[in-house]
């Protein structure tokens, strides 16, 4: 299908109910070679190569267009993907015929052209071209085209990773992530899994009242065994739509990880779960930075004080710069209104970070403490508590989905329920 440039998130005005965010699944480890005719397209492809979704791809860019590609592959094997820029119809079709004589079987071709014509598109498809992108292109157009080559377009998008991290220790990021995941599963009816990445001190098992014998540590320390069946055995079922990949929360070993330690786990979860919520501990290491940058959406949880403001802004700025083709991270304020504690107002946070918080969750130690000690979610403690609506707001913003419609109750509903229970 011909791809067209789309309006970016930064260009869209903020609204109470933002449109559904486009989800582009990351590309696998593939080799990509681009042959460009203009410096503008070369710059867009170069920028695309720095996008997190092409982080595993090996990208090489050359100038010279079709002629350079044909010449290059006379004596060299072709990569997994060839990106070609062409200005004309005749040169393009003739060049593709020549390229076919030196192109290895299985190589996919993406053409960037300036002619918007259905007849040309049919000719390209007949010659085996995988995608035709209309110039001028932006980085996200290139990312979308390459990534979509490796995902079935008719399949439901899966594997949306949501990372939740605290701007400072003790701000309640884990509590927020667990309750938001509960809202995603219960109110949005999405199958979701919570991955507790704080292997030494994780609280997801306690919050969901689960004590599984195995969890994420078994996967991280046995990367060669990680596959769909292995991960399924490690998951603990919390509800019909919510599962848990629990942390051992023990100190019998030291949890020092390499930068890519969790890659196999995340890749496997992406292939089986529509939504993965990462509960990321408050620490700064190679693997936590990689997990945040590689996530589809990010929520930063901060308390209303100066240290949280500084840390939240540092995180926000770094992640925004590292993910130029994604929407900026979201953030929320938690534990707002602690008695006798001086606080920085939400407006000051918004001014410094240049973004409004999704929600401001009030400090209510009674209900949050009871939920934590009972191994329950806030919705289980008090079905009408105001924070539940806030968790749903966060869930909707992070997933781009609206609340599933519930059947309207009538005056006879309680009686009908009683009769059903007999």
pLDDT at 56: 85
pLDDT over threshold 60, residue 419: no
With beta carbons less than 8 A apart as the criterion, state whether 67 and 95 touch: yes
pLDDT over threshold 90, residue 41: yes
pLDDT at 7: 36
pLDDT at 415: 52
List pLDDT tens digits, range 153-197: 554 445 789 999 999 999 999 999 999 999 999 999 888 999 999
Q: Find the mean pLDDT for residues 113-123.
A: 88
Q: Find the mean pLDDT for residues 358-373.
A: 96
pLDDT at 133: 93
Check residues 127 and 6 and name the one with the higher pLDDT.
127
CA atoms within 13 A on the CB side of 119: 2
Q: What are the two backbone dihedrals, phi and then psi, of residue 278, each rounded to the nearest 5 degrees?
A: -95, 120
What percent of the chain stands above pLDDT 90? Answer: 67
Q: How far apart are CA 166 and CA 176, in angstroms?
A: 10
List pLDDT tens digits, range 290-310: 999 999 999 999 999 999 999
Q: How far apart are CA 399 and CA 276, in angstroms?
A: 10
pLDDT at 12: 39
Q: How far apart are CA 134 and CA 236, in angstroms?
A: 46
Nearest-10 Cα torsion for 60, 62, 66, 71? -90
With beta carbons less than 8 A apart as the criterion, state whether 42 and 12 touch: no
Check residues 122 and 164 and name the one with the higher pLDDT.
164
What percent of the chain stands above pLDDT 70? Answer: 88
With beta carbons less than 8 A apart as the criterion, state whether 25 and 267 touch: no
pLDDT at 115: 87
Tell me the two tokens of residue 97.
Answer: 């015929």
pLDDT at 102: 84
Q: Find the mean pLDDT for residues 337-359.
A: 96
Q: Find the mean pLDDT for residues 257-286.
A: 93
The strands making up 81-85's β-sheet, listed across from edge to edge, are 58-63, 31-36, 81-85, 108-113, 131-134
Mean pLDDT of the chain: 87
């Amino acid at each position: 299908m011909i791809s067209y440039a789309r309006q970016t998130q930064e260009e869209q005005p903020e609204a109470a109910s933002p449109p559904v965010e486009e989800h582009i699944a990351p590309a696998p480890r593939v080799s990509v070679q681009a042959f460009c005719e203009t410096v503008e397209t070369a710059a867009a492809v170069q920028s695309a190569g720095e996008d997190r979704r092409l982080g595993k791809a090996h990208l090489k860019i050359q100038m010279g267009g079709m002629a350079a590609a044909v010449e290059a592959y006379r004596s060299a094997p072709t990569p997994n993907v060839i990106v070609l820029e062409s200005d004309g119809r005749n040169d393009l079709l003739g060049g593709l015929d020549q390229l076919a004589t030196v192109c290895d079987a299985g190589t996919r071709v993406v053409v960037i052209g300036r002619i918007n014509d259905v007849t040309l598109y049919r000719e390209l498809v007949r010659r085996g071209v995988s995608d035709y992108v209309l110039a001028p292109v932006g980085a996200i157009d290139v990312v979308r085209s390459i990534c979509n080559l490796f995902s079935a377009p008719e399949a439901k998008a899966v594997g949306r990773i949501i990372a939740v991290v605290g701007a400072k220790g003790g701000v309640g990021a884990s509590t927020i992530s667990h309750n938001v995941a509960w809202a995603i599963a219960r109110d949005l009816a999405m199958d979701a899994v919570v991955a507790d990445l704080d292997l030494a001190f994780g609280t997801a098992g306690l919050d969901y009242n689960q004590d599984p014998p195995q969890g994420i540590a078994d996967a991280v320390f046995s990367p060669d065994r990680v596959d769909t069946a292995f991960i399924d055995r490690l998951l603990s079922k919390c509800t019909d739509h919510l599962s848990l990949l629990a942390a051992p929360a023990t100190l019998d070993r030291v949890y020092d990880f390499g930068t890519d330690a969790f890659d196999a786990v995340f890749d496997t979860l992406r292939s089986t779960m529509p939504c993965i919520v990462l509960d990321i501990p408050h620490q700064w290491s190679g693997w936590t930075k990689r997990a945040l940058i590689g996530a589809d959406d990010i929520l930063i949880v901060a308390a209303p004080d100066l240290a949280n403001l500084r840390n939240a802004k540092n995180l926000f700025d770094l992640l925004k710069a590292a993910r130029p083709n994604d929407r900026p991270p979201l953030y929320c304020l938690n534990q707002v209104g602690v008695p006798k504690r001086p606080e920085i107002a939400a407006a000051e946070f918004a001014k410094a970070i240049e973004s409004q918080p999704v929600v401001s969750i009030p400090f209510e130690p009674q209900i949050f403490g009871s939920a934590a000690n009972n191994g329950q979610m806030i919705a289980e403690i008090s079905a009408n508590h105001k924070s539940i609506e806030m968790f749903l707001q966060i869930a909707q913003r992070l997933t781009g989905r609206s609340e599933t419609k519930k059947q309207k109750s009538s005056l006879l509903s309680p009686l009908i329920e009683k009769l059903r229970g007999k």
